[in-house]
């Protein structure tokens, strides 16, 4: 890694450690823990992990990213199930489905229109797993709908809606501190991006994240998501100033 990027990443990590975690991670700690336990115990979910490609790691969207999305999407399903009128008997099934969607949502990250291609690839994988059609449709559509500012595929039930919305929001939570402590540095290294080019595109990236802040879909995401994004943006502003000082 470029020495400047290494230094800036370390600065971002140190800044995150000094800040109080966003309220979502405090208030819903138990749901996050339950979701994580479920994820690690299910053998089929472990099989999904085997389909994550090594090349995704360099793009900042590999195992750590997908696992975090899966766990927090599962927590969102637990938290918001009642608001989507999901029967109690379907909650565990919905958590299972959104876990799969989270693990596989970026499987085509390196491709153009990766959400569409990822949904198609996920459909093939799920056929091999023997997933029932109802769950498969919910998972595939959720993956198809997880990009911001893109036309979404219509959903047929509250079950599908909750899985799709929870996946989207958990993925967008990653635009908070994660983006500045991990993701961008892996992407810069993977793309061999020069610091001057990074600086030139920095404000455009910040503007995009500001727009994402207004797109959360679940009731919980709309309340707590903007704070997660804002926590990351505060770290990002410090990094921006240090990057400018180093290059100008």
Q: What is the pLDDT of residues 3-19, one digit of tens each?
A: 999 999 999 999 999 98
Residue 42: predicted pLDDT: 76
Residue 53: pLDDT over 60 = no
Residue 192, classed as helix, strand or coil, is coil
Question: Rounded to whole angstroms, how far apart are CA atoms 235 and 227?
Answer: 13
Residue 192's Cβ-side half-sphere holds a number of Cα atoms within 13 Å equal to 0
- Mean per-residue pLDDT over the chain, rounded: 90
3-247 has which CATH code?
1.10.3210.10
**What tens digit of pLDDT does each residue of 61-105 get?**
567 888 999 999 999 999 999 999 999 999 999 999 999 999 988
Pick from 95, 79, 226: which is nearest to 163 by CA?
95
Judge whether 53 and 117 are in contact, CB under 8 Å: no
Reduce the secondary structure of 39-102 to three states and give it as a string: HHHCHHHHHHHCCCCHHHHHCCCCHHHHHHHHHHHHHHHHHHCHHHCCCHHHHHHHHHHHHHHH
Q: Predicted confidence band at 55 (pLDDT cuts at 50, 70, 90)?
A: very low
Domain ranges of the chain: 3-247
Report yes or no: 75 and 34 within 8 Å, Cβ to Cβ. yes
pTM of the model: 0.92
């Amino acid at each position: 890694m470029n020495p400047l990027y290494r230094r800036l990443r370390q600065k971002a990590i140190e800044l995150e450690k000094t800040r109080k975690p966003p309220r979502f991670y405090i208030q819903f700690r138990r749901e996050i823990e339950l979701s994580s336990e479920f994820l690690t115990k299910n053998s089929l979910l472990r099989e999904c992990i085997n389909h994550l490609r090594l090349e995704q790691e360099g793009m900042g969207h590999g195992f750590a990213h997908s696992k975090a999305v899966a766990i927090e999407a599962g927590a969102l399903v637990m938290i918001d199930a009642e608001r989507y009128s999901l029967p109690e008997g379907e909650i565990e099934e919905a958590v299972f489905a959104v876990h799969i969607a989270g693990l596989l949502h970026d499987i085509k990250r390196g491709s153009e229109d990766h959400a569409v291609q990822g949904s198609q690839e996920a459909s093939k994988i799920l056929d091999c797993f023997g997933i029932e059609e109802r769950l498969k449709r919910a998972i595939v559509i959720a993956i198809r709908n997880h990009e911001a500012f893109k036309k979404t595929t219509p959903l047929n039930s509250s079950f599908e809606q909750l899985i799709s919305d929870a996946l989207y929001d958990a993925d967008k939570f990653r635009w908070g501190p994660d983006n500045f402590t991990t993701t961008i540095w892996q992407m810069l290294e993977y793309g061999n991006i020069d610091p001057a080019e990074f600086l030139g595109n920095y404000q455009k990236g910040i503007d995009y994240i500001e727009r994402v802040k207004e797109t959360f879909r679940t009731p919980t995401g709309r309340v707590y998501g903007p704070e997660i994004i804002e926590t990351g943006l505060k770290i990002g502003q410090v990094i921006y100033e240090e990057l400018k000082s180093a290059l100008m």
